[in-house]
Amino acid sequence: MKRRLVLQGLLAAMPAAAAFSALLAAPKQARAIGGTLPDLDQPAPDFALAGFVPPGTEGELRLSDFQGRWLALYFYPKDFTGGCTLEARGFQQDLAQFHQLGAEVVGISADSAESHASFCGSEGLAFPLLSDPGGLVSRRYGSWISPYSQRHSFLIDPDGVLRERWVAVRPSGHSQEILASLQSLVAAAPSLPSPSPSISR
**Which member of 49, 61, 72, 84 is catalytic?**
84
| Whether residue 120 lies in the annotated active site | no
**CB-CB contact of 61 with 127 (8 Å):** no
Close Cβ partners of 122 (under 8 Å, ≥ 6 residues apart): 80
- Residues annotated as catalytic are 84
